[in-house]
Amino acid sequence: MARQFEFELLHTCKRSGARRGRLHTPHGAIETPIYMPVGTQATVKATSPDELRGVGAQVILANTYHLHLRPGEDLIEEAGGLHQFMNWQGPILTDSGGYQVFSLADLRKVTDEGVAFRSHLDGSRRFLSPESSIGIQQKLGADIVMQFDECAPWPCEREHAERAMRRTLDWYHRCASTTRRVDQALFPIVQGAFFEDLRRECAREMAKLDAPGYGIGGLSVGEPKPVMYEVLASVMRELPPEKPRYLMGVGSPDCLIEGVMRGVDMFDCVLATRVARNGTAFTRSGRLVVKNAAYVRDFTPLDAQCDCYACKNFTRAYIRHLLKAEEILALRLISVHNLRFLLKLMEEIRAALEGDALPEYAERFYARHPRGNW
């Protein structure tokens, strides 16, 4: 595994501590820091693999919970794994399904053994454990797989947070003890809710594992962003610098900048494609609600500085027309644009930190976008 999964720390920004790296996987290298588009159901919504490559996507995510329920890991394995099934030949990361089952609230019951839950599709009874989560992810065939963990909500009592953190530690060891493919890297996940001492203890214990990379979970679950940044900073101090750090479920433009400034290497989030389906585009001037009447005769692109297919070929007026006419092309064009916006942002971040100029880049960005205005 050491030859297939190697993280090169290429540069550390002298002004901010942000990191420039390269993570090698069996399906190619990932230049970090990186935003990873989310393909929950083995597809990034409204986009094709060719379009993903065109916007600069290097690695995408798929979700264990959803693919286990439909179409099932056995069928995907029969198809040759996720790479063949969805025709994406770059690296793939699969979440463990932990966050999804814990978000089911009244439909699930958590014990030390795992989580019993009812499918949100048909109400059938299911059970996920650390061992079965890894078994599913083996059949899916992703390059990077995540441990099965317990995510505590915001807010929560300390007792709940500590129980979930210690259960996550125990479940990692069970995941690691399961027979696994040699071409998959298993990342543990730091939990501990919003209690700094629990987070740091969990991170210290995880750091002892010499894992190929580390996830930070349980953030961006409703807490104020300053609280998230404070917790993140405390976790970063405990994780080994020579390994990649993955902040799970976080991907608004301001959070990408703030996360990189605190030493995060990998991010994912559904925000870009979710807001696109509501007719909202990311631009250099902030969010643009394209369906608003103000754009009925606006014959400029979504973002004049963007080099995506949508911005090079279509206007706000045309895309607004498509939205009003409920044409699917509108959602595809805005999705392509939003993904390119975030991936180009990460390209600029990588260039800035290589030149030890990330703080200045952040200042210029915030001069156009008030903090938290995403």
User: Which whole-number Å values give the CA distances from 348 to 31, 256, 270, 271, in the listed order?
Assistant: 12, 12, 21, 20
Q: What is the DSSP string of 349-361?
A: HHHHHHTT-HHHH
Orientation angle between helical segments 225-236 and 253-261, nearest 10 degrees: 30
140: left (phi over 0), alpha (psi -120 to 50) or beta: alpha
The 10s digit of each residue's pLDDT in 64-117 is: 999 999 999 999 999 999 999 999 999 999 999 887 776 766 678 899 999 998
What is the per-residue DSSP string for 156-213? --HHHHHHHHHHHHHHHHHHHHS---TT-EEEPEE--TT-HHHHHHHHHHHHTT--S-
- Max distance between CA atoms of the chain, in angstroms, equals 61
Average pLDDT, the chain: 95
How far is Cα 114 from Cα 98, in angstroms, rounded to an integer?
10
Which residues are tagged catalytic?
95, 268
Residue 2, pLDDT score: 45
CA dist list (Å): 161 to 101, 154, 157, 193, 248 = 17, 10, 6, 6, 18
Domain borders along the chain are 6-269, 281-358
pLDDT tens-digit series, residues 322-370: 999 999 999 999 999 999 999 999 999 999 999 999 999 999 999 887 6
- 130, 149 in Cβ contact below 8 A? no
Mapped onto helix, strand or coil, the DSSP state of residue 144 is strand
What's residue 103's pLDDT? 72
CB 239 within 8 A of CB 222: no
State whether residue 139 is helix, strand or coil: helix
Low-confidence ranges of the chain (pLDDT < 70): 1-3, 102, 104-106, 370, 372-373
Q: What is the pTM of this model?
A: 0.96
Which CATH superfamily includes the segment(s) 6-269? Queuine tRNA-ribosyltransferase-like (3.20.20.105)
pLDDT at 372: 62
